Amino acid sequence: MSTSIDPSSTRSLPWTVWPTAPSSDACLDLEALQQHLAVTRRKHKAGQHLFHAGQPFRALHLIHSGSFKTSGLTDDGRERVTAFKMRGELIGVDSIGLGSYACDAVALEDSESWELPYPAVMKAAAHVTGLQEQIHAALAAEIRCDRSWMLLLSTLAAEPRVAAFLIDMAARQARMGYSAKHFILRMSRLDIASFLAIKHETVSRALSHLADRHFISVQRREVRVLDAEGLREMAVAA
Amino acid sequence: MSTSIDPSSTRSLPWTVWPTAPSSDACLDLEALQQHLAVTRRKHKAGQHLFHAGQPFRALHLIHSGSFKTSGLTDDGRERVTAFKMRGELIGVDSIGLGSYACDAVALEDSESWELPYPAVMKAAAHVTGLQEQIHAALAAEIRCDRSWMLLLSTLAAEPRVAAFLIDMAARQARMGYSAKHFILRMSRLDIASFLAIKHETVSRALSHLADRHFISVQRREVRVLDAEGLREMAVAA
DNA sequence: CGAAAGATTGAGGTGTATCAAGATCAGTGG
DNA sequence: CCACTGATCTTGATACACCTCAATCTTTCG
């Protein structure tokens, strides 16, 4: 299990909390934060809910290991994946200011999260200089990330979307210290399709086609990036 | 000009700053805010830029009258409208934490904005109780709004998108105290198309079709809502 | 008034959805 | 251990919604 982290390493925290946004450098200073609030660790089995939409909002959740998807419900009741979150990223920020969570959060694999009680975070922000700005920056980064995906989804055809998705996954993989050339997709084709706003058959076809062109190789959820440059070109062009 | 506000009314401020999000109730307490920072008023002609992407970020902008569009640039250089903002809404929050603005903002009609210098806002937030939470809530609301549109854009076909767009416009119109049944679209079909991620011809056709069904009547940019319930049904179904 | 921009409508092509059938894998229990 | 079941993934054939290209008409503004 190359993705699981030794729990003993959680004592010392030279960590930064990254926003999901691609190409963003804003991050929370966890070291400063942890001196001012008590975090609760929680373990989750694959498929288990971190929280449900509608549950009372009390805390932000920092992913310590593993990965999650967040999903909303359309008016007619279908599920729609709004984001994938991995180690070092925050879940729940979009629920700030609401009484309850605005989305569902589900573990894609066995994972561990840290609960950051929101009132405590706010109190800490008042004391720790710079934390306020960092929180604002993290929220703004989340907005930019969403905008960035809206841009992609509205501009690009199905295949480039999949290419862009792979590039994003690779980049985040690299940020966590893993290989950007070889990684495992933790989510199903259906989840990817839902996130990219296409059908899962189309995702399959796109992946197959990208493999045919030797940009990548795919075997089920295992992805190898053979030609990163080619992928990037694919993701901007039509 | 039913949308322009008498400038003399700007002295007293029983105002709230609304997030763009549909069905959200978070807002800034402007009265408290204005006691702690100096706002600069700016007037803008239709088509004029409030700011360009890349310009140094110094302030948030509160729309006092008129309306704006914000737009980003895709990798291949095409413009994409990311949001429409009207009276009482904030522009520029997505640029917090960056050195420069992340998007362009253009006036859709003759408008007036108030500049809220960001450092001053942050200082005020430290003094005014509750302001901190309000700012967070406003940012989070922006995220939810984007998510909500992502959901719509990815789920709905062209015509329901246009219906949803009209419903949103009507709701915001109502919030400003104007009629939700009769309003003027301040943006071109091209802008609407760009925002909804469809072609402008498709927007035209959708509007015509909605009019054929007597849900609305359209003449150029003037819209009358004849059957709000029907529109709503249209916007959730396929 | 004339030119340019915006809006509407039509005809035909393309990409993705839809429907359907197999293939592969994970988990379960006999 | 293997058969069995359901979930996930892949691939194919067809249909349809939207895009593309194009013409016409209206409005706006110099």
User: Are residue A108 and residue A139 in the same domain, yes or no?
Assistant: yes
What pLDDT band is residue B219 in, cutting at 50, 70 and 90? very high
Using the predicted structure, report yes or no on whether residue B134 has a pLDDT greater than 90.
no
* CATH code of residue A34: 2.60.120.10
Helix (H, G, I), strand (E, B) or coil at B184: strand
B201 touches strand C (CB under 7 A): yes
| Number of alpha carbons in the 13 Å side-chain half-sphere of residue B161 | 25
Whether B147 sits inside 8 A of A72 (CB atoms) is: yes
What pLDDT band is residue A238 in, cutting at 50, 70 and 90? low
What pLDDT band is residue B4 in, cutting at 50, 70 and 90? very low
A201 touches strand D (CB under 7 A): yes
Q: Which of A28, A79, A96 to mutate to test the interface with B (most CBs of B within 10 A)?
A: A96
How do residues B173-216 score in pLDDT, each as one tens digit? 998 889 999 999 999 999 999 999 999 999 999 999 999 999 99
Tell me which residue in B122, B153, B154 faces A133 most closely, judged by beta carbons.
Answer: B122
Encode burial over B39-78: b for 16+ CB neighbours within 10 A, e otherwise.
beeeebeeeeebbebeeebbbbbbbbbbbbbbbbeeeeee
**Packing angle between helix B131-155 and helix A131-155, nearest 10 degrees?**
10
Tell me which residue in B96, B137, B141 faces A140 most closely, judged by beta carbons.
Answer: B96
Helix (H, G, I), strand (E, B) or coil at B119: helix
* CATH code of residue A190: 1.10.10.10
Q: Which of A104, A119, A146 is the last residue of a domain?
A: A146
Whether B132 sits inside 8 A of A126 (CB atoms) is: yes
Domain count of the fold of chain B: 2
User: Are residue B177 and residue B210 in the same domain, yes or no?
Assistant: yes
User: Are residue A117 and residue A186 in the same domain, yes or no?
Assistant: no
Q: Which of A97, A121, A146 is the last residue of a domain?
A: A146
Q: Which of B18, B100, B129, B136 to mutate to test the interface with A (most CBs of A within 10 A)?
A: B136
Whole domain around residue B108: which residue ranges? 7-146
Which A residues, 132 through 171, put their C-beta within 8 Å of a C-beta on chain B? 132-144, 146-147, 149-151, 153-155
Find the nucleotide nearest B157 (Cα to C1′).
D17
How far apart are the C-alpha atoms of A29 and A52, rounded to whole Å? 28
Least confident of A76-80, A104-108, A178-182: A76-80
Using the predicted structure, report yes or no on whether residue B27 has a pLDDT greater than 80.
no
Q: Residue B89 has which token pair? A: 């809404």
